[in-house]
Structures are given as structure tokens and as C-alpha cells.
Amino acid sequence: MIDIPESSIMKDGINYKYYINGKWEESNSGKLISVHNPYNNELVGNVQPCTKEEVDNIIKIARENIDCWRETPLNERAEVLNKAADLIVEWSKPLGYLLMKEIGKPINSAISEITRTAEIFKATADSSLQLSGETILGDAFEGFSKEKVSMTYRVPLGVILCIGPFNYPFNLTGSKIAPALLAGNTVVMKPPTQGPLTALHFGIILEKVGVPPGVFNIITGRGSEIGDYLTNHPGIDMIAFTGSSKIGKHLAKVAGMKPLLLELGGKDAAIILDDADLDNTVKAIVSGAFSYSGQRCTAVKRVLPMPGIVDKLLRKVTEETLKLSIGDPSENKNIGPLISSEQCEYVQGLIDDALKKGATLICGNKREGNIFWPTILDNVTTDMRIAWEEPFGPVLPFIRINSAEKAIEISNKSEYGLQGMIFTDNIDLAFNIAQELEVGTVQINGKSARGPDHFPFLGTKSSGLGTQGIKYSIEAMSRPKVVVMNLSERGKLVKQCFVLDK
């Protein structure tokens, strides 16, 4: 295993600092926030709750460096991202191990989260070759001539605030940092309080590959304490946020007129028609519902099966679910801890409500520590909370339907609109249903998922605002700059020359 040079990033081997202007600093708050392993409660590290004054300073530094970074040639900004990608891959095992400890993600998935981030950095660097503007001649409108020419190119927005969630704390901050830097912005990153440690390493990584001091900065602290101050701050020019719909909506109120990229919660429904390929469907549902114990925005959160397939589907999904291994993330068990005991209690509340209202328990509904056994509920009805709320835990409700129309109605009644799924051999029908679903993406014969990361990724309704994905994120983090040339005499002169030459 390669050693990451961590001496600068923390004090006493456990207390992590924050990162401003290329230096690791201790906060004047004099306080610490502990980060515990959700599996065994072991202390993994402490971060500092930064003060409002420190927020002011970090934003001031990021602003002072806007010009320097914007003027750095695009090919040099891309090169930095390429080098960062290489370093992330080199350090993927120790970073993955730390990530596994702080958020309880199975070790292989934790390492994949790190290497996936490197791929995003590389692909973002590559997309610099495709960045282009456009030229428009004015004569499409009556009264204007070809001599009025608009030239458009893209310029950075300034300082981008990147806020990530606990479930992908490295990847979903990295997927914001890379496009922000490529587009020429400076960055203030705020990692989640449950899972900040791995993401803090972006400070070392970016410094090592040559990002100048002050271009990339990290502030730590609880969203409930510094979040509003940060998002409302006049020194922030744009906010890229991934997290819950509750906080996302709140942020939209606090942020004023700042451009926002919000990737929020979901309640993705899988519509299963009678002619679906059973094996493929079962595989997609089990992995979609229970990977990382259901703590994914794109998890399969509702199954809507037709009568001809429901019994065999339920039987096979249950069989496969019972095969999932449960326990220690370091042993790569399929099901590990939920992020906190509060989250376990929330999940339990949803199950209790469903059972009280008549749902049938097929398996699960058992808890040890923060581990919740994968739970399947049948005969779920629309008066139950689990039909609508996002558990962010391993609970899969089956809501039986008897028509595609009913499936569309239940899917669309959700406050969320992240993704939807249709499993069928009838591609024409699937396409027609897809047209009706009020979601960002519809997957046909596959589980809902964000990647590959150059695909557009977005949610409607409470699931988000704006579009993520490599070229879309770069676009969101830059704006068009238009220069209009008024060449009124030039065209006539050319025509005259042409006549004279003849």
C-alpha cells in the first residue's frame, strides 16, 4: 500500500485541518467534530468546525485567485486534471480504505468510488479539446445584415462552492471540482460532516499536481452551522450541490440569484411488465435496491409489477436477496451499516408504518447496530409512507399494479423525478411509457444509475435543478461571453473589389 504524505493535513495523526491558500490550518473555533466508523463506532478522525470569519477568509482567497486561474491556458488546466487523475489512481487503495472506514461502504465499492473519480478527472481534461463557441451572422432577422457577427465563447463564473453528500463524499465532490477547475473557476469545497476525511485529500492531490495556492480550498464544518452563511455569501458565484431534497430546497431559498446545480433525492420506480426477462430483471432489482445498503439516490426504491409476473418475480428477488452477505465493509460484505443510528430508526419507522397498514413482510426487518437486513415488503399500498418516502436504506416495497396506466400514475405521483425503469421485451411499449414518465432518465431493461459519467444526469421536480455529466457540468460552471462585431462597410468593399477585378 502506498503511503499518502498526511503529516501536513492533520495534527496528532487524527485531527484533520482545513485547507486555505495552499496551507493546512487549524480553526480558531478550537472545537472538533468526530467522525466515527458507522460499522464499529471506531474513531476515524476529527474535523474542525470553521468559523464564519474563516469562511470569509477562504472565499476572499478564492476570489483573489480568480484572475490567475482564468488566465492559465486551458491546456495547462487540463494537464493538471490529468496528473490529478493519475495520482488518485495511485492512491486509490489507501483512499478507498479510509472511505470504507468513514462511511461504511464495502471496500471494493469504496475503491471503485475513488477510481471512478479519477476517470471523471481524465474525461473532463479530455473534453477541453471539444470546448468551442459559435459564430452567428445577423441576416437571419430582417433588418440585419451579415456584417453583424456574434462571436460566443465560454468564460468561468468565478468562485464555485462544491458541496457533496455522505454517500459519495469523494466522487460527488470530485465530479464538481474537475469541471469547475477546467472551466477556469476557483473552488471552495465543503465536504459532508459524515464522511469528510477522504475528500480532504483533494487538497494534497491538487497541490501536488500544481494547482496554485488559493485556487482550490476546503472548508469544514456542519451544514447546519455554516451552510447558510456559505451559500448566501456574496463572494460565491455558483453552487454545485448534491444532497437531500430538503436541504437542496432550503439552499435554493438562501442562495439568492446564484446559479445552482442541484442533484437531490429520488424514489425511482421499476415498472415490470409480464413479458420482462426474469433473470435480467431480478439481477437489476436486487443490485439496484441493495448496493451500498440502498444508500444511493438512484437505488431502486419501488417495484411496480404486473399480475402475470409478480409471484415468480417476488420469489426470485427474495431468493437472491437472501444470498446477500451481511456485515463488515472491510470484508466486502454486500450489506453493511447505514450511516447512523438515526437513519436506522427512520427506516424502521417506514417499515412499521407499512406493516401496521397491511403490507406483507417477505424478509428482513432485523437490525444489529447500524446494520439493517435487506427488507422486502409486498402488498404495499399508496396510503403507506414507504410508497412515497426515500428510505435511504435496504427496503424494497412491491406495489402491485394491473395496468401500465396505473404504473405511470403511481410513478408520476411521487414528489421526486430522478429516474424510472421499465422491464419488458416490448420496446415500442417501453418507449411509449418512457414518454409519459416525469423523470430525468428512463432506463429500459436496466437498473437506474448515474453513470457512465458523460451521460446527462438530472432530476425533475424535487430531484434536482440543472444537469450533471462531464460536458453538462462544464457548461453549468461557465457562461457564454458574446462579442458582436459590426462590420458594416467591409462587405460592400469586398463586392466592389470583385466587380473591379472582373
Q: Rounded to whole angstroms, how far apart are CA atoms 106 and 38?
A: 12
Q: Is residue 416 near ligand NAP by the rule CB under 6 A?
A: no
Q: Is residue 49 near ligand NAP by the rule CB under 6 A?
A: no
Cβ at position 298, least distance to ligand G3H in Å:
4
352, 329 contact by CB (below 8 A):
no
Q: Is residue 104 near ligand NAP by the rule CB under 6 A?
A: no
Q: Is 25 a catalytic residue?
A: no
Cβ at position 173, least distance to ligand G3H in Å:
12
Q: Is residue 27 near ligand NAP by the rule CB under 6 A?
A: no
Identify which of residues 88 and 310 has a Cβ nearer to ligand G3H in the complex.
Answer: 88
Q: Rounded to whole angstroms, how far apart are CA atoms 85 and 236?
A: 26
Query: How would DSSP label each residue in 57-121?
Result: HHHHHHHHTHHHHHTS-HHHHHHHHHHHHHHHHHTHHHHHHHHHHHH---HHHHHHHHHHHHHHH
Q: Rounded to whole angstroms, how far apart are CA atoms 307 and 310?
A: 5
Rounded to the nearest 10 degrees, the angle between the axes of helix 107-126 and helix 74-90 is 160
For 202, other C-beta atoms within 10 Å of its C-beta total 24
205, 176 contact by CB (below 8 A):
no
State the binding partner of 35 from ligand G3H, ligand NAP, none, CB within 5 to 8 A by kind: none
Q: Is 297 a catalytic residue?
A: yes
Q: Which of residues 106-165 bind ligand NAP (CB under 6 A)?
A: 163-165
Which of the 8 DSSP states describes residue 224? I
175, 53 contact by CB (below 8 A):
no
The b/e string for 467-481 (b: 16+ C-beta within 10 A; e otherwise) is bbbbbbbbbbbbbee
Which of the 8 DSSP states describes residue 147? T
Cβ at position 480, least distance to ligand NAP in Å:
26
For 439, other C-beta atoms within 10 Å of its C-beta total 26
Cβ at position 289, least distance to ligand NAP in Å:
14
Q: Which of residues 28-47 bind ligand NAP (CB under 6 A)?
A: none
CA angle 204, 209, 211 (to 5 degrees): 85
Considering only residues 54, 207, 263, 453, which one is a binding residue for ligand NAP as defined by CB under 6 A? 263
Binding site for ligand G3H (CB under 6 A): 167-168, 296-298, 449-451
Which residue has cell 440543472?
466
Active-site entry in 102, 113, 119, 263: 263
Considering only residues 60, 148, 154, 222, which one is a binding residue for ligand NAP as defined by CB under 6 A? 222
> In the bound complex, which residue of the shown chain has the CB atom lying closest to ligand G3H?
297
State the binding partner of 104 from ligand NAP, ligand G3H, none, CB within 5 to 8 A by kind: none
468, 263 contact by CB (below 8 A):
yes
Cβ at position 392, least distance to ligand NAP in Å:
5
On the question of a cis peptide bond just before residue 156, with omega within 30 degrees of 0, the verdict is no
Cβ at position 40, least distance to ligand G3H in Å:
24
Cβ at position 103, least distance to ligand G3H in Å:
12
- Three-class SS state of 53: helix
CA distances from 123 to 32, 117, 130, 478 (A): 37, 10, 11, 17
CA dihedral sign of residues 223, 468, 124, 94 = positive
Q: With CB under 6 A as the contact rule, which of the stretches 34-42, 145-153, 217-225, 370-378 interacts with ligand NAP?
A: 217-225
Q: Which of residues 370-399 bind ligand NAP (CB under 6 A)?
A: 390, 392
Identify which of residues 51 and 167 has a Cβ nearer to ligand G3H in the complex.
Answer: 167
State the binding partner of 374 from ligand G3H, ligand NAP, none, CB within 5 to 8 A by kind: none
68, 215 contact by CB (below 8 A):
yes
Entry field: residues in the chain: 502
State the binding partner of 451 from ligand NAP, ligand G3H, none, CB within 5 to 8 A by kind: ligand G3H
Identify which of residues 203 and 243 has a Cβ nearer to ligand G3H in the complex.
Answer: 243
State the binding partner of 449 from ligand G3H, ligand NAP, none, CB within 5 to 8 A by kind: ligand G3H
Binding mask 167-186 for ligand NAP (x = CB under 6 A): xx---x--------------
Active-site entry in 50, 102, 162, 297: 297
Instruction: For residue 481, list its beta bridge partners.
Output: 153
Q: Is residue 407 near ligand NAP by the rule CB under 6 A?
A: no
State the binding partner of 228 from ligand G3H, ligand NAP, none, CB within 5 to 8 A by kind: ligand NAP
Cβ at position 143, least distance to ligand G3H in Å:
48
Q: Do the strands 43-47 and 23-25 form a parallel or antiparallel pair, or are they unpaired? A: unpaired
CA distances from 452 to 130, 184, 468 (A): 18, 24, 11
Identify which of residues 128 and 468 has a Cβ nearer to ligand NAP in the complex.
Answer: 468
Residues marked as catalytic: 263, 297
Residues at the site binding ligand NAP, with contacts judged by CB under 6 A: 163-168, 172, 190, 192-194, 222-224, 227-228, 231, 242-244, 247, 250-251, 263-266, 297, 390, 392, 418, 459, 464
